[in-house]
Amino acid sequence: MNVQNDMVPLLSVSDLHAYYGKSHVLNGVDMEIMPGEVVALLGRNGVGRSTTAKAIMGEVSPLGSIRFKGEEIAGFPNHRIARMGLGYVPESRDIFPTMTVRQNLMLGIKDMRRPGKWTIDQMLEMFPNLKRRADNPAGVLSGGEKQMLTMCRTLMGDPELIIIDEPTEGLAPLIVQQVGDMIAEIAKAGVSILLVEQKLSIALRIATKVYVMGHGEIVYAGTPADFATRDDVRKEWLEV
């Protein structure tokens, strides 16, 4: 998707800092996501990628500026941020195990009176694995199916931007491919995405822009094509 350079960023993060106790985790993060963009946030474990997602969503106290659709949201409670159109799929794959798949999806609907872009039937048609288990308790799902359910439930809230944190962590290669395909489908529907991911193959297949994080700050920003030529960045900031 082509993005106009003169468009206002959907999400703009400037000089973002965050702490866990006395530990300074984010050291002035700057990033922008334009409408329709899929942005991959790469980096080794422990550099602050998930903390960035949590700070944007109000789950970690932020210092600095976080603007969503032009409005300053730093310090807002997470339920208010979600209602503004920012969706969040945490690494923990939080589901309600005793409720059915269908009931879990219904919990994602923010306003029952106003139909959103996505319906439960659409979600189930898009993902046959979930359709087959629609009336089963969500606790019986595999890890990959739980990841799909968590993403689908978030989509039911009709977000304009969805932050997806480590969606392929611990999944088998075939399921990784399926989750990657799902994220690509979300992007095709016009939802902007911030993808926190370790697997370069997934991130670079989907992303229109790449940020690399190291030591709590952004150390590289560019297109996937440019990033593919930057062996120096990969060796210094990504390879173990």
- Nearest residue to 56 via CA among 9, 16, 8, 23: 16
Amino acid 2: pLDDT: 45
Amino acid 165: pLDDT: 92
**What torsion do the CA atoms of 95, 40, 236, 219 make, to the nearest 10 degrees?**
-110
**What torsion do the CA atoms of 126, 129, 135, 136 make, to the nearest 10 degrees?**
-150
Query: How distant, in Å, are the alpha carbons of 23, 54, 56, 59, 227 from that of 29?
Result: 16, 13, 11, 16, 19
Amino acid 70: pLDDT: 93
> What is the span of the domain harbouring residue 52?
11-90+159-237
CATH number at residue 170: 3.40.50.300
Counting Cα atoms < 13 Å in the Cβ hemisphere of 38 gives 22
207 part of a folded domain = yes
Amino acid 226: pLDDT: 95
pLDDT beneath 70, residues of the chain: 1-6, 111-116
Q: Say which residue the tokens 């798949």 belong to.
A: 101
147 part of a folded domain = no
Rounded to two decimals, the pTM is 0.89
Amino acid 5: pLDDT: 47
117 part of a folded domain = no
41 part of a folded domain = yes
| C-alpha span between 123 and 144 (Å, rounded) | 15
Amino acid 116: pLDDT: 67
Amino acid 233: pLDDT: 95
Cα-trace Rg, the chain = 17
Structure tokens at 18: 């965050």
pLDDT by residue (tens digit) across 30-81?
999 999 999 999 999 899 999 999 999 999 999 999 999 999 999 999 999 9
pLDDT by residue (tens digit) across 103-116?
999 988 876 666 66
26 part of a folded domain = yes
177 part of a folded domain = yes
113 part of a folded domain = no
Amino acid 234: pLDDT: 93
Amino acid 71: pLDDT: 95
Domain count, the chain: 1
115 part of a folded domain = no
